[in-house]
Structure 1
Amino acid sequence: MAPTAATVTPAGSAPTTEEELQKTIAKLASLKPLGHTNHKDGRTKFGKEASWIESLPEPARQRFERHGIDLSGGYPITPDPDLIPKFVDEAFAVRNEDYAYIERGKNADPEKKALFGAAKEVKHLTKHLGTEIVGLQLSDLNDKQKDELALLVAERVVVFFRDQDLAPQKQLELGKYWGQVEIHPQVPRVPNGVNGDDLNGITVIWQDYSRAVNGLDLSFKHAIGGNSQWHTDLVHEHQPAGITHLHNDTIPEVGGDTVWSSGYAAYDKLSPALQQFLDGKTAIYRSAHQYIDRENPLRGPKPILREHALVRTHPATGWKSLYVNKAMTVRIVGLEPEESKLILDYLFSIYEKNLDIQVRFNWKPSKPGLGTSAIWDNRISQHNAVWDHEGLEPRHGTRVTSLAEIPYFDPNSKSQRQALGLSLD
C-alpha cells in the first residue's frame, strides 16, 4: 500500500453533567452541514416524518418502479437518528481503518480497445478533460471494460454516458467493483429493492428536497451552497473518495449543468518553484457535517479533521494532482495561518478561474425517459452544480461513491503535461 499521511485525532472524552450533555445532543439535531442555513419558508425538518414520495419526479418514479425499488415505505429513506454519530470521535471512527484497495485502472489496456470498440462514438469535450461515450449501456459492461473505463476516468477526469436505462442495483454493483462504497450516516438514500436487495450506499441528490427539508439555502441571489459550490467529495475520509458515479434521471429542460475542473491541470498551472514548495506537503481537510466535541461539548459543533497529501499521485496514471478545494481544505501543515490562507486562496483560484482546465456539461439525454451518468475521479478534480434552473424544474439523481487509497505523494511522479510531453510554458 502507498505510504500513509498522518491523521488528525479527534478530541478525547471529558466529564460533563448529564443535563448539559443532553442539551448539547438536542442542539446537534438542528445543525446543518457547513455552508447551509435554514430555509426561509420553514418547511418540514429533516427526519423520518418527511416522506416526499408524492413529490418524487415522474421520470425518477418510473425508473424506480421499472427496476424494482420498494417505494411503499416512502421516499427517500432518511437515517435513523439513533444511528447518526453525535460525537466527533464517533464520526471520526467510521471507516477509520486501512482496507485493501485495488486500482482497477492500473492494469487496464491503455488503448481501451474493449470499451471503445463497443461504443458507437467517443467524443472528447475539451482538450484534456471530459469525454462522452455514445452507444453503451453502463449496465452491460464486462470487467475488462470496467477496468478500461476506470483508466479513462483517471486520464480524462470525468466521463459521460447519456441515454442510460440504469437500475440503481447496477449502479451500486459498478461502484463496489471500483472500491469500498461509502455509506454516509447523515444523508438520505434510495430504498431497498422489492426483493430485499440492500441498496444502502446509493445516496439521493435532490436539491428540492434538500432546500425544503434540510435547510439548504439556494436562490437566485444566493446560488452557492451544498453541491452548488466548488468542492471535492469526502476529503475527510481515512481513504477519501475515488470514483463517483452520479446518475441523473430527472433533468431540467434547460440548465442544471455541472462543471468539473482538473487537478492535474491546476498543478501544471503553477510555477516550478511553487510546485517544488508544495510537493510533499500535507493539509488539513474537514467534513461537511459537524459533531459534538466530548472534551468541550458546550463550545459548539466541530467537523472531522484529517491530514492528507496536498499534492497527490494518482496510482493509475502516475500523474501529480493538486488536492485542495475551498469548501473543505482548512490549512497547510507547517505554515503560519496567514501564510496558509494566502497560498490556499491562490490555489483555489487556479481551479475556479481557469476556464481552459474546466468542462461544463449539460445532462439532458437525447431520448425521453432515460437518464444521464457522469463518472468522475475525486482524487484529481473539483466540481460545481450550477443553480441556474433555480428549482423551477426538478433535478433528481442517485449517487454512488467508491473510496480509494490513502492519498500519497510519489516524489518520482510526473505532472500530466510532463508525462504527455507537452509544453510547460
Structure 2
Amino acid sequence: MATATETQTSSSTPSNVKQANLKIVDDIPIDQQIEHLIRTHRELNITRQRSENLKLKQGADHDGAKLLPEASRKRLEDGGVDLSKGYPELPNRDEIPVFVDQAYAIRDYDVPFVDRGSQADPEKKALFGAAKEVIHLTDKVGTEIVGLQLEDLTDQQKDELALLIAERVVVFFRDQKLSPQTQWNLGDYYGNIEVHPQAPHVTGLPGATVIWNDYKIKQGLDLNFNNINFGNWDSVRHPAIGNNVWHTDLVHERQPAGYTHLHLDAIPETGGDTMWISNYAAYDKLSDEFKKFLDGKKAVYVSAHSYLNRKDPLGGPKKVERIHPLVRTHPATGWKYLSVNRVMTTRILGLSPIESDMVLNFLFDVCEKNADIQVRFKWTNTKPGYGTSAIWDNRVSQHRNVWDHEGKSPRHGTRVTSLAEIPYFDPESKSQREALGLPLKKWDA
C-alpha cells in the first residue's frame, strides 16, 4: 500500500511565508511524478526554449485573436479559420514532450520520400512560361517569380518550382491570395508535413505554424534592440531569442526539413527582412584539400528545444541529438552542400573537442561572413487579405530574421515545413560550381 509524507513548515520559517506541500508517493516512479507535476503546474515551462520564458496557454487563445493585425485577420477569415475559437492554438500540455525519449519518438521512423524536383523538367518551361517575369536577386541565391498565384499551380509547375528552389535556395512570390489551408496543401505535396510539438499553430490546422514575435512579446518574450543578435556570437551562452540567429530548421530530425514555405500577411512598412545563405556556395568556398577532409565526416545536430533525461530528471536540460553527414548530396540537383549552423551543429565525430570547435567555428564563419553567398529579402506590403511568400530548401540553406523594426508595426505570418529524405553523402557527386562548369581556385602547394 502506498505511503505518503508531506513536508511541514519549519519552525524557523517566518509566519508570513507559506510553503507549498510536496506529496511524495513511494510506489510511483520519480520520473512519472515529475512528468505529472510539469504537465499540471502552470508556472513550469521546462518544455520551452530556456531563452523564451513564455507564459503560453494551451488551446486556442481568445486574447491572442484580439491582437491580430487587420490584414492577417482578413486573410485568416477569408481562408475559413474560425477566429471565434481563439488564435493562435497551442498543443495541450499533455501532448508536449517532457522527456527527451518522448521527443525522439515523435518521428523516429522512416517515411517514404521522393523529391518532387527530381522528376521536373530541367528547363522549367511550364513554370517560366506562365510567369510574367523571373528575377534573380543575386547571382548565387534567391529568385522572384512575378505574375503567378501559388494556389493555381499545376502539379507540373509545382515540380518545376521544387527544382528551382533546390537550385536557387529560396524563391519569392509577392501579392499572393493564399489561405493557410492552401499553403498546407502545397507543403503536403512536397513532403511529410512537420507538426511541431510545442509551437503555436493556426487554429484547427496543426502543421501551419504561426510566426508572430509580437504575440510572443506580449506573452513575456524578452526581445529587444540590445539582445537580438547575442546568439550569433555564442549560441551556447546566449541562446537564440526569437528567430534572429542564423539557423536551419529541424536539423535534429531523422528526416530533416526540406521545403519550407513562409507566408507573411502583415509586413512592417520598414524592416523585418529575412536573410538566407547558400550552403552549396559555402562548400565551394573551401579549398579542394579541405573539401576532401570534410567529405565523409559526420556531425551531431541538436534540437532547438530542451527536455529532461528520464534516467536523470534533475540533471538539467537535454536536447535531441542526431548524427548526419556533414557534407551531403541533394537528391534533385545532385550537388554537394555543407550542412552546418552555429546554433544546432555541436561537434564533428572523430575529432577532439578542440579540433571540432575550431573546424566548426571556421565553417560557421565561411557561411556567415561571405556576403556574396547570401540574399536579404525585403518583404513588401500588399492589399488586405494578400501577402508575400518565400519558399526555401532548408537542406541547402541557413536563414535568419532581421528584427530591426522593433515591433513598431506588426509582422505576422504562417509557416509550413515539409520533411525530406534521410540525409546522405554520395562521394561521386559534384559541387555546384563543378557541375555548372564554373571556375574554382586551385591553391598553391
Partner of 2:211: 205
Residue pair 1:236, 1:287 contacting (<8 A) in 2 also = yes
The one of 309, 313, 329 equivalent to 2:325 is 309
* Structure 1 SS opposite 2:307: strand
In structure 2, how many angstroms separate the alpha carbons of the residues matched to 1:186 and 1:17? 21
In structure 1, how many angstroms separate the alpha carbons of the residues matched to 2:262 and 2:254? 22
1:221 counterpart = 2:226: yes
Structure 1 letter corresponding to 2:214: D
* Unpaired segments ≥5 residues, structure 1: 1-13, 193-198
Q: CA deviation at 1:48?
A: 4.0
In structure 1, how many angstroms separate the alpha carbons of the residues matched to 2:210 and 2:424? 30
Compute the TM-score of the two structures, normalised by the length of structure 1: 0.91
In structure 2, how many angstroms separate the alpha carbons of the residues matched to 1:111 and 1:360? 26
The one of 91, 96, 102 equivalent to 2:108 is 96
Residues 245-266 of structure 1 show CA distances to partners (whole Å, capped at 9, x for unaligned) of 0000000001100000000000
* Structure 2 SS opposite 1:331: strand
* Structure 1 SS opposite 2:116: coil
Specify whether residues 176 and 237 from structure 1 end up closer, same or farther in structure 2 by C-alpha distance, changes over 3 A only. same
Residue pair 1:21, 1:297 contacting (<8 A) in 2 also = no
Residues 27-80 of structure 1 show CA distances to partners (whole Å, capped at 9, x for unaligned) of 9941364462437xxxx5444484301001110100011121111110001110
Partner of 1:175: 187
Structure 2 letter corresponding to 1:405: E
Partner of 1:196: none
In structure 2, how many angstroms separate the alpha carbons of the residues matched to 1:376 and 1:261? 11
* Structure 1 SS opposite 2:113: coil
Partner of 2:428: 412
Residues 102-152 of structure 1 show CA distances to partners (whole Å, capped at 9, x for unaligned) of 110012001100000110000000002100000000000000000000000
In structure 2, how many angstroms separate the alpha carbons of the residues matched to 1:412 and 1:262? 21
In structure 2, how many angstroms separate the alpha carbons of the residues matched to 1:289 and 1:18? 21
Q: CA deviation at 1:226?
A: 2.4
Q: CA deviation at 1:368?
A: 5.4
1:116 counterpart = 2:128: yes
Structure 2 letter corresponding to 1:297: P
Structure 2 letter corresponding to 1:212: K
In structure 1, how many angstroms separate the alpha carbons of the residues matched to 2:390 and 2:119? 23
Partner of 2:147: 135
Instruction: Summarize the alignment of residues 276-291 of structure 1 with structure 2, pairs less than 5 Å apart.
Output: 276-291=292-307
Partner of 1:31: 46
In structure 1, how many angstroms separate the alpha carbons of the residues matched to 2:372 and 2:252? 28
Instruction: Summarize the alignment of residues 12-411 of structure 1 with structure 2, pairs less than 5 Å apart.
Output: 16=30, 19=33, 22=36, 29-31=44-46, 33-34=48-49, 36-38=51-53, 44-48=55-59, 50-51=61-62, 52-192=64-204, 199-213=205-219, 215-224=220-229, 225-365=241-381, 367=383, 369-411=385-427
Specify whether residues 18 and 84 from structure 1 end up closer, same or farther in structure 2 by C-alpha distance, changes over 3 A only. closer
* Structure 1 SS opposite 2:224: coil
Partner of 1:9: none
In structure 2, how many angstroms separate the alpha carbons of the residues matched to 1:204 and 1:21? 27
Q: Percent identity of the aligned residues?
A: 61
Residue pair 1:28, 1:291 contacting (<8 A) in 2 also = no
The structure whose RCO (Cα within 8 Å, separation 6+) is larger is 1
Report the more deviating stretch, 71-80 or 362-371.
362-371
Specify whether residues 297 and 208 from structure 1 end up closer, same or farther in structure 2 by C-alpha distance, changes over 3 A only. same
Residues 287-320 of structure 1 show CA distances to partners (whole Å, capped at 9, x for unaligned) of 1111111111111121111111111100000101
Aligned length: 401
| Rg (Cα) greater in structure | 2
Specify whether residues 102 and 29 from structure 1 end up closer, same or farther in structure 2 by C-alpha distance, changes over 3 A only. farther
* Unpaired segments ≥5 residues, structure 2: 1-27, 230-240
Residues 6-31 of structure 1 show CA distances to partners (whole Å, capped at 9, x for unaligned) of xxxxxxxx953765565566599413
Residue pair 2:169, 2:396 contacting (<8 A) in 1 also = yes
Partner of 1:6: none
Specify whether residues 116 and 293 from structure 1 end up closer, same or farther in structure 2 by C-alpha distance, changes over 3 A only. same
* Structure 2 SS opposite 1:106: helix
Specify whether residues 33 and 355 from structure 1 end up closer, same or farther in structure 2 by C-alpha distance, changes over 3 A only. farther
* Structure 2 SS opposite 1:245: strand
